[in-house]
Amino acid sequence: MSIGYWSQVQATGFEVPSDRPLDELTTELTTMLGSTEPEVRDGTAFPAFATWIERGIYDDLLAGLGDGMVAGLSVGLGETGTDTVFRRSFSVLILAVCLERDNEQHLLPSQKVMEWGDRLATWFLTERDTRGFVPDKGWAHAVAHGADAIGALGESPHLAGPEHALLLDILAERLLQPAEEPLLAGEPDRIAAAVMNILRRNTLGTDVLEPWIHRIGAAGNPFVGPVDHDPYPPTAAPQAFLRALFVQLSLAPEPPQVRSDLLLVLIEALRMTNAPYLRVAGG
């Protein structure tokens, strides 16, 4: 089907076309998620899916739709610098919308959400293509989209404290992994936003969060260790994350109950990892 067909659908505010069955439209949109043309992928397939999910079009089919998105996470997994990243990255973004719909409407059994969570976590830690914006092809942004999905998963009523702690560990592990392309396209901010979603569940205390922050802080300190290499590339993402989480925890609405105590922990981590800039010059 030509992009002209979908342009007409878009012009109607993404009303579901009546001239074709929904399963056929779904199959075509799923293929379009992997397009290298941003107007097809970002501008058409993603908003069509997101709109239909939010309007309840897929409520009775949500499990199957999410399963299809989970299957998309394995397309070309392990490759880097190839176009298969778009299918994986935009599949996980639609999976996030499916999770958000279930969070609101309680449509899925716990087993299904946990199954998606396992597959999501495995993909998130395995994904090698960390490109943000790809010239002429638009956003890949797999790490950012994965963080969005984990943030949505963290809000699920099917998860509790132990799962929340595990999700934080998964986010930290991804943040601290060596990346072939540095996380310079807002990924630390998106990971911080996912962390905020989890913190707002108010299931974790500083006994869990303090060592978790210090682990990231230790990886984000460019002023320790040997001086035989440039320390800034490997420490940039964790340092950016600490700053992003500090901003969001300080300024975002609906702060978690642990906000005050966690801010003190964050300030200490930022002080340790920025020590040379926090000294008063001698007279």
Listed as ranges, residues in the chain with pLDDT below 70 are 1, 281-283
Q: What is the pLDDT, as a whole number, of residue 283?
A: 44
Smallest CA-to-CA distance from 101 within 134, 173, 168, 53 is with 53
User: What is the DSSP secondary-structure string of 18-43?
Assistant: SSS-HHHHHHHHHHHTT-S-HHHIII
CB neighbourhood size of 30 (10 A): 20
The C-alpha atoms of residue 144 and residue 197 are separated, in whole angstroms, by 14
pLDDT tens by residue, 121-163: 999 999 999 999 999 999 999 999 999 999 999 999 999 999 9
Total-model pTM: 0.95
Q: What is the pLDDT, as a whole number, of residue 226?
A: 79
Tell whether the torsion through CA atoms of 146, 152, 155 and 160 is positive or negative.
negative
Q: What is the pLDDT, as a whole number, of residue 225?
A: 80
